[in-house]
């Protein structure tokens, strides 16, 4: 996706958000609100197509005139994406609350895949169609396009009418990336509540399915509803469950070790001393099983990175701000930095050298020590997903497997579900 530079995006949203909606924008929103209350979904979609997609006139001249004013605004190149996005969610938000209207949402989103190609003499029509095409290159449209895959009770092949084996439909499986893949800076409160509810529902279902599977594998009960809820093989999932929840170091779990290290870190004399101990805390499980050359190479790499991190604070005492910022930067280093500069070679190398469980276990130790950095881990994996969502799954097996492992690690350590091991 060729989205705007992050600073340009934030600047344009700041300017847009600091001003109340214009009378012309309010006219559009109010018209759509009335339509969605009084008309069948197919009629509303036809209206939306006539107004924004065909863009050659509209049955309500007052609404058409209001849209003309919005489009001809000198700042429209920056602000129109927010106006159009809000128009979309003016329809989607009430449809989300009514099961019988859910099918209308992918139909609305699909309108943007069917933009007119025939020429026109109208300068206004040309301008409006240009702005709508630009909308398709924005974060707002990308988030909108992902929504049907999460919202609808359909299988991977059916969501949004797509019939392929791309990564995109798998988003429904990973609720921990919902916040950063389905919301944008201009998402309204109702849509945020909807996504929060969808996330909670998906997390709860996965947690329950995981507990059932684990109980079945341990022979506690037999049930046809206790199938493997992941895309991992049974052997891979069994190992992951044992590693993320079982005894991994001196008869202690990752959570136990994190709790002990957190208490110890309060006694260190300086941030520099903490970074040295932090390195050992992170590397111990890897050093125990990884080949010595690989372990030593990554150890040097990690030590150097932490040594250079926030070095101005080295002589000061550790505090919460420094801890959170350290963990956030470390997650960027280990997974991916930003959507604008998505370098994830360190992550790929870790998977290749030490495998999925040790790699995700390393990340788990960070967020168990500093729970405030967990949203940052979720952000990093949403960046990887968003970057590769149009790829075929077989082309990015490392990402699918990683997403599955993170799902298991977070559900078993943050979901409140008790997963017992042998």
- Residue 3 confidence (pLDDT): 40
Question: How far, in Å, CA of 143 to CA of 134, rounded?
Answer: 15
Query: pLDDT, tens digit, for every residue of 365-389?
Result: 999 999 999 999 999 999 999 999 9
pLDDT at 225 over 80: no
The most confident of the ranges 27-36, 160-169, 287-296 is 27-36
- Residue 223 confidence (pLDDT): 65
Query: pLDDT, tens digit, for every residue of 45-71?
Result: 999 999 999 999 999 999 999 999 999
- Residue 10 confidence (pLDDT): 54
The rounded Cα 104 to chain-centroid distance in angstroms is 24
Query: pLDDT, tens digit, for every residue of 391-414?
Result: 999 999 999 999 999 999 999 999
- Residue 159 confidence (pLDDT): 40
Q: What is the mean pLDDT of residues 327-335?
A: 98
Q: What is the mean pLDDT of residues 112-121?
A: 86
Contact 165, 391 (CB under 8 A): no
Average per-residue pLDDT for the chain: 90
Tokens of 50: 């006539």
What's the pLDDT band for 119 if we cut at 50, 70, 90? confident
- Residue 5 confidence (pLDDT): 42
- Residue 68 confidence (pLDDT): 96
What percent of the chain is predicted at pLDDT more than 70?
91
The pTM assigned to this predicted structure is 0.91
Query: pLDDT, tens digit, for every residue of 6-33?
Result: 445 555 655 566 567 899 999 999 999 9
Tokens of 46: 């036809």
Q: CA–CA distance from 46 to each of 36, 43, 62, 84, 150 (Å)?
A: 12, 5, 18, 16, 24
Report the range of poorest mean pLDDT among 121-135, 153-167, 181-195.
153-167
- Residue 395 confidence (pLDDT): 96
Q: Which are the contacts of 39, defined by CB distance < 8 A and separation ≥ 6?
A: 47
Taking the C-alpha atoms of 114, 119, 124 and 129 in order, what is their torsion angle to the nearest 10 degrees?
Answer: 20
User: How many other CB atoms are there within 10 angstroms of residue 68's CB atom?
Assistant: 14
Q: What is the mean pLDDT of residues 152-174?
A: 69
- Residue 162 confidence (pLDDT): 44
- Residue 17 confidence (pLDDT): 65
């Amino acid at each position: 996706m060729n989205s705007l530079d992050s600073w340009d995006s934030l600047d344009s949203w700041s300017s847009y958000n600091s001003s109340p909606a214009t009378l012309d924008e309010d006219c559009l929103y109010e018209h759509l609100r009335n339509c969605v209350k009084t008309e069948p979904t197919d009629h509303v979609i036809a209206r939306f197509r006539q107004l924004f997609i065909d863009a050659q006139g509209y049955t309500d001249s007052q609404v058409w005139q209001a849209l003309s004013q919005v489009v001809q605004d000198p700042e429209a190149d920056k602000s129109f994406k927010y106006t159009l996005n809000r128009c979309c969610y003016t329809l989607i938000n009430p449809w989300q609350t009514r099961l019988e209207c859910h099918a209308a949402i992918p139909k609305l989103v699909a309108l943007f895949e069917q933009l007119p190609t025939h020429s026109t003499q109208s300068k206004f029509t040309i301008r409006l169609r240009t702005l709508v095409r630009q909308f398709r290159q924005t974060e707002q449209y990308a988030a909108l396009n992902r929504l049907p895959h999460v919202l609808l009770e359909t299988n991977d092949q059916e969501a949004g009418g797509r019939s392929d084996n791309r990564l995109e439909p798998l988003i429904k499986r990973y609720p921990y990336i919902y916040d950063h893949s389905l919301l944008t800076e201009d998402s309204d409160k109702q849509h945020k509540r909807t996504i929060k509810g969808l996330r909670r529902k998906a997390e709860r279902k996965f947690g329950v399915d995981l507990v059932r599977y684990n109980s079945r594998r341990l022979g506690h009960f037999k049930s046809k509803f206790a199938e493997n809820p992941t895309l991992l093989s049974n052997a891979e999932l069994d190992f992951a469950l044992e590693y993320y929840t079982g005894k991994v170091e001196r008869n202690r779990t990752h959570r136990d070790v994190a709790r002990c290290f957190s208490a110890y870190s309060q006694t260190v004399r300086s941030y520099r001393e903490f970074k040295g101990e932090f390195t050992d805390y992170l590397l111990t499980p890897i050093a125990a099983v990884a080949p010595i050359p690989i372990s030593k190479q990554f150890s040097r790499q990690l030590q150097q990175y932490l040594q250079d991190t926030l070095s101005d604070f080295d002589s000061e005492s550790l505090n919460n701000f420094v801890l959170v910022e350290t963990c956030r930067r470390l997650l960027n280093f280990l997974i991916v930095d930003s959507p604008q500069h998505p370098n994830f070679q360190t992550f790929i190398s870790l998977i290749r050298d030490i495998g999925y469980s040790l790699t995700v276990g390393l990340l788990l130790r960070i967020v168990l020590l500093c729970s405030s950095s967990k949203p940052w881990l979720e952000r990093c994996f949403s960046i990887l997903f968003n970057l590769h969502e149009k790829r075929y799954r077989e082309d990015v097996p490392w990402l699918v497997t990683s997403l599955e492992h993170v799902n298991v690690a977070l559900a078993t350590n943050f979901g409140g579900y008790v997963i017992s091991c042998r």
